[in-house]
Structure 1
Amino acid sequence: MRVIIVGAGEVGFNVARRLSGESKDVVVIDKDSQALSKVSDSLDVQTIQGSGSSPEILKQAGVGEADIFLAVTDKDEINLIATFFANRISPKIIKLARIRNEDYTKYSEMFTEGDLRIDTIINPDEEVVDSILRVMSVPGAVEINDFVGGKVRLIGVKLPEDSPLVGVSLMNIRDHFNDVDVVIAALVRNDRLIIPGGLDTIEKGDIVYFTCIRDQQERLLQCAGILSDPISKVLIVGGGNVGFLLAQHLDNKKYHTRLLDNDPERCAVLSEKLDRVIVLRGDGTDQDLLKEENVGELDMVISVTGDEEMNILSCLLAKNLGARKTITRINNFAYIPLIQPIGIDHLVCPRLSAINSILHFVRQGKVISAVSIKGEEAEALEAIAQENSGIVGKPIMDLNLPKGTLILCFQRGEEVVIPSGVTVIEPNDRLLIISTHKNIPKIEKALTTKLELY
């Protein structure tokens, strides 16, 4: 597989890093020589200095022979022009473009055919808002991802010390869930991710990733001893694109929402566009203001300004004043491991969301979606089992899955099945597989050939 990436920023670099580690043929284009030096010094990929919106540069990169074209610079206009020329040079190539400006995204029907065709528009802001809304729907969770058209959820939860699951081995786990269908997909222990086997035991302090049918979510959480009051009173810090999109979703009777921004002109615009949301002018790091707004009585403080240091500080101040839950927006990947240890409950990362949007297009086989778990340590893949796949026609126990890989569930027709060891995968089953990153190439081969998984 040959992949052309326009943009050597955080998104382009990390996509290139993921794909080059899987022995894919990657070319990165950027005008910035320093950004390209970082790429070439760190990764085994080809780099070309120049504008991705130049047809000459695109031809030099071999776009005519490429399988996938990614335009992921921070400039929507460059991404659009680069995609336009990629279409002219290679109409059949799969094209993805990072587009954030609503002036473009609201005309998405224009990007479905002809020279402007884009297979997928990646809007990290919308992805981030969706992530926040999922977390708000399960206040006790640290991470939530939806699969199988929203029918299946992968929920990461830090178990309370008195949870009835503490000390239970995974081979006996279903005894504690009555009629709830559940699979333990992963454990995070001492900041290390484990794809568990039947002999593993849940310990105090573990973050447990449950796979369940969405309709059974509430009963699962009750059986695990996770009881949390719903989110009602919310403060959003930052009235930019993400803050405004989130406020629109929370602009209803279910939530008592306040939106804080430091720009008086922006506050005026927000007040005009929002109905029930109270718009306040001020700084999220102003402790006196936070006290005045009774932040200690809030269910959740969500800081989504463009300044990640400010986001971190506002959440820490809010938490110190008594706010129940906090979510911070992070762009710098280096900050991700630091967030929970310093006391912030959740993080959202537009750049990681953009990478997740891209991943399933570069996965071989009929992959529908792909999501990174705990940063990048593991990946959950949703894929269609094909007739010629090595995982079809055998009981799961005989597939010799490599250590660190689990088939979590599958959809057959309209039915979602949580499998056992004797379950046999059939062609056209819609599978959900979790695997450590190093096993992904093996999973891709098994999805497309008769190659065994071991």
Structure 2
Amino acid sequence: MKIIIVGAGEVGYHIASRLAFEDKDVVVIDKDPEAVRRVSEDLDVQVILASGSSPRVLADAGIRDAEILLAVTNSDEANLVACLSANLLSPSTKKLARIRGAGFDDFHEVFKTEAPHIDTVINPEIEVVKTIQRLMRVPGAVDVGEFAEGRVNFVGIRLEKDSPMAGVRLLDFPMVFGDARPLIAAVVRNDELIVPRGDNVLRPGDLVYFISEKKRLADTVKLFNPNANQPLKRVIIVGGGRIGKRLAEALEREFIHTKIIESNLERCNVLSQKMNKTVVLHGDGSDQKLLLEENVGDTDVVVTLTHDEETNILTSLLAKNLGAKATITKVSKFSYFPLMSAIGLEKMVSPRLSAISSILQEIRKGKILSAVAVLGEDAEVIEAVALATSDITRRPLKKLSFPKGALLVCIIRNDEIIIPTGESVVAPDDRIILFAQRQAVKKLEKLLTVKLEFF
């Protein structure tokens, strides 16, 4: 598979890194010498220092032989022109564009049918708002993903000391919890990611990733944290930019009492005219006095969404110290991810990571319905259709040699949701959900597409 990436920023860099790790043929184009130098020195990919929206540059990069073009620069307009140029030269190449401007929201579907004919439009800001809402609905959750049209949830949550799961072997889950048991996909302990086996024991403080039917999610969360599931009533948003505005509008529709704290007076005036019920406050969200005046201690969630991630981190720490029940922090720098849990901030969102998750599902081989990056970039949860040609079908799971670090966590057959055992058999056209560490994805792709003689 040949993939051309226009844009060597954080999203382009990390997508290129992921694809190069999986031995795909990658070309990265950017006109920023520093960005190109970084990619060239760190990754085993071809780089071109030029404008990726130029037809001549795309032709030289081999667009006619490319299966996918990813336009992920920081400019919506440049991404649109890159797709237009690619479409003129190679209509069969699949084109994906990152477009963030709210003014384009109503035209996403039009782009798929008209010039410049974009197969997939990715708006990471919309995806981030959805992620924040999912985190709000599951108290204590660090990650929440939805699959099968929302009927299945993939959740990462910290195991509390008073949890009935603490000290229980996974092998004993059916006997202890019966049909209400979740399937544990992964455990993070002391910063180490573990794909568990039956003899593993859960410990208090573990970050546990599990699969649950949506209708059982509330009861399952109580197994991890008996004090969870308090209703969401009050939210403070620090930062009234595009993401803050989108989130406030979404919360208004859910009748949740919402306040926005924004430091720019002109932006406050714009927000006050746009919002219906949201209270807009002019001030510094990291001001302790202001937070106390706004009763942050009685707030269910404080979401920090300013353009400065250091401010977001400090404000979240301050809000938590002042008694806020939960915080959600927007972080863009991937290098910060490992540090967040160490300082007590586990609920994070990243527009860049949301963009990467959206892109992954479009470039995976096999009939992939969705793919979500978890634990930064260490792993993925993949939803796929089991093809009749793949080796994953027609045999009990215990007889399949799954790649090390991969686990099938759910089978969806018609309206039935099956938490699999070793005796379970995947049938052609079943929808399946898999958890895979980064190093297992390449082999898992092969397992999902064609029969493999060595399995």
Structure 1 length-normalised TM = 0.98
Shift of 1:11: 0.2
Which residue does 2:216 correspond to in 1? 216
Which residue does 1:137 correspond to in 2? 137
Partner of 2:51, secondary structure, is coil
CA distance, structure 1, for counterparts of residue 448 and residue 102 of structure 2: 37
Instruction: Specify the code of the residue in structure 2 equivalent to 1:376.
Output: E
After alignment, is 227-236 or 130-139 more displaced?
A: 227-236
Confirm or deny: 8 A CA contact 1:88 1:115 kept in the other structure. no
Instruction: Specify the code of the residue in structure 2 equivalent to 1:45.
Output: V
Write the deviation string for residues 192-217 of structure 1: whole angstroms up to 9, x where unpaired.
11111111111121111110111111
Shift of 1:453: 7.3
Which residue does 1:73 correspond to in 2? 73
Matches within 5 A, 1:9-408: 9-180=9-180, 182-228=182-228, 229-252=230-253, 254-408=255-409
Write the deviation string for residues 122-158 of structure 1: whole angstroms up to 9, x where unpaired.
1111111001000000112111000111110011110
CA distance, structure 2, for counterparts of residue 190 and residue 400 of structure 1: 28
CA distance, structure 1, for counterparts of residue 100 and residue 453 of structure 2: 42
**Runs of 4+ with deviation above 6 angstroms:** none
Instruction: Specify the code of the residue in structure 2 equivalent to 1:265.
Output: E
Instruction: Specify the code of the residue in structure 2 equivalent to 1:307.
Output: D
Confirm or deny: 8 A CA contact 2:158 2:224 kept in the other structure. no
Shift of 1:30: 0.2
Partner of 2:341, secondary structure, is coil
Confirm or deny: 8 A CA contact 1:409 1:419 kept in the other structure. yes
Shift of 1:115: 2.9
Instruction: Specify the code of the residue in structure 1 equivalent to 2:411.
Output: F
Partner of 2:149, secondary structure, is helix
Which residue does 2:412 correspond to in 1? 411
CA distance, structure 1, for counterparts of residue 181 and residue 290 of structure 2: 47
Shift of 1:223: 3.2
Which residue does 2:7 correspond to in 1? 7
Which residue does 1:447 correspond to in 2? 448
Gaps of 5+ in 2: none
Partner of 2:180, secondary structure, is coil
Write the deviation string for residues 212-246 of structure 1: whole angstroms up to 9, x where unpaired.
11111112123334322222111000111000000
Shift of 1:59: 0.2
CA distance, structure 2, for counterparts of residue 171 and residue 453 of structure 1: 29
CA distance, structure 1, for counterparts of residue 269 and residue 106 of structure 2: 23
CA distance, structure 1, for counterparts of residue 20 and residue 195 of structure 2: 24
What is the alpha-carbon root mean square deviation over aligned residues?
Answer: 1.3
Instruction: Specify the code of the residue in structure 2 equivalent to 1:186.
Output: A
Instruction: Specify the code of the residue in structure 2 equivalent to 1:386.
Output: L
Partner of 1:372, secondary structure, is strand
CA distance, structure 2, for counterparts of residue 152 and residue 453 of structure 1: 32
CA distance, structure 2, for counterparts of residue 243 and residue 440 of structure 1: 34
Partner of 2:270, secondary structure, is helix
Instruction: Specify the code of the residue in structure 2 equivalent to 1:131.
Output: T
Partner of 2:404, secondary structure, is coil
After alignment, is 222-231 or 261-270 more displaced?
A: 222-231
Q: Structure 1 68/91 Cα, relative in aligned 2: closer, same or farther at 3 Å?
A: same
Instruction: Specify the code of the residue in structure 1 equivalent to 2:60.
Output: Q
CA distance, structure 1, for counterparts of residue 221 and residue 175 of structure 2: 15
CA distance, structure 1, for counterparts of residue 303 and residue 265 of structure 2: 20
Confirm or deny: 8 A CA contact 2:5 2:27 kept in the other structure. yes
Instruction: Specify the code of the residue in structure 2 equivalent to 1:431.
Output: I
CA distance, structure 2, for counterparts of residue 225 and residue 375 of structure 1: 24
Confirm or deny: 8 A CA contact 2:112 2:120 kept in the other structure. no
CA distance, structure 2, for counterparts of residue 253 and residue 207 of structure 1: 29
Gaps of 5+ in 1: none
CA distance, structure 1, for counterparts of residue 30 and residue 435 of structure 2: 33
Instruction: Specify the code of the residue in structure 1 equivalent to 2:191.
Output: D
After alignment, is 2-11 or 336-345 more displaced?
A: 336-345
Shift of 1:345: 3.6
Shift of 1:452: 5.5
Instruction: Specify the code of the residue in structure 1 equivalent to 2:452.
Output: L
Shift of 1:252: 4.6
CA distance, structure 2, for counterparts of residue 108 and residue 437 of structure 1: 31
CA distance, structure 2, for counterparts of residue 226 and residue 448 of structure 1: 42
Question: How much identity, in percent, do the aligned residues show?
Answer: 48
Instruction: Specify the code of the residue in structure 1 equivalent to 2:272.
Output: S
CA distance, structure 1, for counterparts of residue 155 and residue 200 of structure 2: 19
CA distance, structure 1, for counterparts of residue 87 and residue 253 of structure 2: 42
Write the deviation string for residues 264-287 of structure 1: whole angstroms up to 9, x where unpaired.
121111111111111100011112
Shift of 1:164: 0.9
Instruction: Specify the code of the residue in structure 1 equivalent to 2:407.
Output: L
Instruction: Specify the code of the residue in structure 1 equivalent to 2:375.
Output: K
Partner of 1:106, secondary structure, is helix
